[in-house]
Structure 1
């Protein structure tokens, strides 16, 4: 008798579905605003993926000074340095708002990268995008004034240039944090924020709402080697 059982076709691998699913080697957890995700010095044995929310990455110096080195949003990975041999976390991470975070063990991450080409492509595309962002940040620090650096940071936080962008920044960032991220003083940030608000580039009342006019102003302005900060 011929086999009449239907052939079971393997479902195509979907990286987003994989990252949202709880299974061996993966956990999905909710974090409240300001809740710690991991601390500097913790054992580095997981890679994190943001399903929802924003995460702040900070570094604490030997003298106790804390600096913000990055803000990560939905669809981004962080903590992936463990894949290349990092034993301890060199930074700390905190939820800037309510977050949903997938944590993947190092072994599960490496196994999936080896077994699923679609996931490998997805992860490599993220790493390339992040590398490009780091290069842009370096150029920004070297050649642009603090005013232009602040404008670029606000546009990035508002997701301009991404699908679904041009929306209000859904978190309240202190002027101290903004100053740390662009390498200037709080008083300079305050001056530029007031200038942007007076020109109608932003609304600043409890949260930062960035308008497309700020992007237009940045594009019109020719970048120059910074004279002072």
Structure 2
């Protein structure tokens, strides 16, 4: 993960850009920052520490979807129109986390193209890197969710079963 300095972020920059829309809080180990299903009303930034993002299926099975380090944003889906959290964020060890109100973040991104560019660059680095996409595609291929040889074929039955945590039938390999 990139550090905040590598992306040009600092506490001073945050204070100037967000003023009243920013709060900083220390979290203890395993403390919930936000919960899946609750209102998505802020973006968070890890000043120090680590955060784990998990999702819970309809059958109450949990999966870790990300472990984020110092210098990472999370919860940014609210700026893109997400009204509810799709994951739960928990601190791993003591963590110092900045909370940026959704409205303040959206205003800042519109008002400051340079900051918006840095924010987008960060999201691209951690959210959709070629290596990350490749890792997930290979995992899905091994589980039989997808096949690709020049084109992508999706086994929707297996994906739906996985998402709803129903028992899956055995898939024979060819």
Given the two structures, how large is their TM-score scaled by the length of structure 1?
Answer: 0.53
Q: Which moved more, 1:123-132 or 1:70-79?
A: 123-132
Partners of 2:138 and 2:60 lie apart in 1 by 29
Match of 2:27 in 1: 31
Query: Which of the two has greater strand per residue?
Result: 2
Checking the alignment, whether the CA contact within 8 Å between 1:59 and 1:92 is kept in structure 2 is yes
1:130 aligns with 2:126: yes
User: Structure 1's 125 and 97: CA in aligned 2 closer, same or farther, altered over 3 A?
Assistant: same
Match of 1:84 among 77, 80, 83: 80
With a CA cutoff of 8 Å and minimum separation of 6, indicate the structure with the bigger relative contact order: 2
Match of 1:62 among 58, 63, 66: 58
Given the two structures, how large is their TM-score scaled by the length of structure 2?
Answer: 0.68
Match of 1:113 in 2: 109
2:19 is paired with a residue of what secondary structure?
coil
Partners of 1:105 and 1:131 lie apart in 2 by 21
| Rg (Cα) greater in structure | 1
Match of 1:48 in 2: 44
Matched pairs, number: 131
Match of 2:98 in 1: 102
Partners of 1:56 and 1:40 lie apart in 2 by 13
Partners of 2:135 and 2:69 lie apart in 1 by 20
1:131 deviates by: 3.6
Structure 1: gaps (5+ residues): 1-13, 145-227
The superposition leaves residues 105-139 of structure 1 with CA deviations (integer Å, 9 ceiling, x where unpaired) of: 11100111122233112212102212443x32231
